Amino acid sequence: MNKSSFTFFRTLLWLWDIISLNLVLLFASIAIFKADAFNQREYYLFFAVYNLTWMTFVYLTQLYMSKNWLDFEIFFKRTFKCFLFTTAGLLLFIFIYHYQFSRFFIIFCFTGFATILLFNRIVFNLMVISLRSKFSLAKNVVVLGYNEVSARLINYFQKEAKLVKLAGCFDDQGIIHDTQELRVFNNLKECMDFVKDHQVTEIYSTLVPENYPYLYELAKEAEKQFVYFKFVPDYHIFINRNIHVDFINDIPVLSLRKEPLEDTGNRIKKRAVDIILSTFVIVCILSWLVPLLAILIKLDSRGPVFFIQMRSGKNNQPFRCIKFRSLKVNNEADSIQVSRNDNRITRLGRIMRKTNIDELPQFFNIFMGDMSAVGPRPHMLKHTEEFAELYKEYMIRHFVKPGLTGWAQVNGYRGEIKDNELLRKRVEFDTWYMENWSLYLDLRIILLTILASIKGDKNAF
């Protein structure tokens, strides 16, 4: 199946989901309001918001654009995430709009759409299975070489690639390594005969052409038979880590890591979410919380309401990080981390730190662009210098904006850093976040942070 066919089926499924959603809304309206179904203006607005919210999260979760969208399990999980976010967005709209929508209508819409989405996915999966043989969705491949690189490739084809069938492997080492799951042949010159007999469409070579000159002849023969021939280079020969390949004017360029936030579009998305979220918190929460806590902080201890400290930001540029003051005024605030049972913490400060309320003023930093809602936590300048000397990869985390919360924090690595292992794990989690960023990951981290604040975090003190 070619690319245009995939695009057609994606578009068809997208349209069918939209039609299904509106059919559910229409039936729900008729079931509740009967003849008066088309005279309910508030419900017109609900229809529009439901459609807009669904399409927004379809875009944010890349529901129909995943490379593995033909994999039922992956596609179903993405659909579930998209539906969950859509439901949460609609509940927020209902709460803000403050109109007494019919509960039966709301439940009917949510359950009806969930049911029809499940039905659509099952039907679509059955259609893919039925068309797989007819349109050759499942392709046969052959791997050349039986080594460390090919082992990883074979493992992927056998366990993760649902639409790929590994027909065999050719090693040319004089030994046949047949197993229950894989046939390994020892003569490269028999490869093309095997390819023709088993309708193979792609050949992946992990062998080095300089050591196996016959590969050039084999590649030409494969193209004559309309079989794709692909070389899989082993870059670990000269660099012992994962790398990424980009192209600049058809020139391959190797980079040590791939960061989604290098893309301007992704940075715009993340910044848009930061502005919307910080504006909401500033207007709806901090507008009344700041005056209230200002009074309580002043009554609890002497000193300013806010604690402002220079922290390390993106590209290690310092910025003024703002918090509610949770410590007694002291001369060690810029040099010594807060520890458990620290006698500098005020009575109110202990409550604020335990619930993360002291961090809320950092939404002003987010709004101004110094921070993001999610990212590596910023450290004081003195500790940045110390940690950079202790762990050589520490400064990598400063490629992105620091965050109010982060992947390391929701995985238990927050608070005081007592040893090098804690520092190493925090940097590993922060680096993983940079290399795997997505809006869904940000939303997940935000939700996990809220849950941790409600339940209480043992590392928050």
Residue by residue, DSSP assigns 301-360 as: SSS-SEEEEEEE-GGG-EEEEEEE--B---TTTTTS---TT-TTB-HHHHHHHHHTGGGT
| pLDDT 10s digits, 82-127 | 899 899 888 888 888 777 888 888 888 899 999 998 888 888 777 7
- Among 132, 157, 182, the domain boundary falls at 132
- Give pLDDT, residue 71: 66
Share of the chain above pLDDT 90, in %: 16
User: Is residue 388 domain-shared with residue 338, that is, in the same domain?
Assistant: yes
| pLDDT 10s digits, 418-452 | 777 888 888 889 989 998 898 889 988 998 888 88
184 phi and psi, to 5 degrees?
Answer: -115, 120
Contacts of 182 (CB under 8 A, 6+ apart): 154, 158, 166, 168, 169
Please state, in angstroms and as integers, the Cα–Cα distance from residue 39 to each residue in 25, 42, 132, following that order. Answer: 14, 9, 47
Task: Give the structural domain span for 279.
Answer: 264-455
pLDDT band at 130 (very low <50, low <70, confident <90, very high): low
| Residue 198, in any domain of the structure | yes
373 phi and psi, to 5 degrees?
Answer: -60, -35
| Residue 461, in any domain of the structure | no
Give the residue with greater pLDDT, 459 vs 113.
113
The rounded radius of gyration (Å) of the Cα atoms in the chain is 28
| Residue 234, in any domain of the structure | yes
Give the residue with greater pLDDT, 183 vs 38.
183
- Among 114, 132, 150, the domain boundary falls at 132
> Taking 90 as the threshold, does the pLDDT of residue 274 lie above it?
yes
Distance CA 163, CA 71 (A): 8
User: Is residue 319 domain-shared with residue 450, that is, in the same domain?
Assistant: yes
The DSSP code for 261 is G
User: Is residue 201 domain-shared with residue 295, that is, in the same domain?
Assistant: no
Share of the chain above pLDDT 70, in %: 82
> Mean pLDDT across the chain, nearest whole number?
81
Query: pTM of the entire structure?
Result: 0.58
Q: Do 118 and 38 form a contact (C-beta atoms < 8 A)?
A: no
- Among 240, 275, 307, the domain boundary falls at 240
| Residue 319, in any domain of the structure | yes
Burial of 253 (0-12, 13-18, 19+ CB in 10 A): exposed
User: Is residue 356 domain-shared with residue 299, that is, in the same domain?
Assistant: yes
User: At CA 358, angle to CA 450 and CA 362, rounded to 5?
Assistant: 80
| Residue 255, in any domain of the structure | no
User: Is residue 318 domain-shared with residue 450, that is, in the same domain?
Assistant: yes
Residue 387, both tokens: 């940690």
| Residue 258, in any domain of the structure | no
User: Is residue 377 domain-shared with residue 413, that is, in the same domain?
Assistant: yes
| Residue 246, in any domain of the structure | no
| Residue 249, in any domain of the structure | no
Mean pLDDT across 303-315: 90
- Give pLDDT, residue 155: 82
Count of domains forming the chain: 3
Most confident of 99-108, 168-177, 229-238, 275-284: 275-284
The DSSP code for 212 is -
pLDDT band at 2 (very low <50, low <70, confident <90, very high): very low
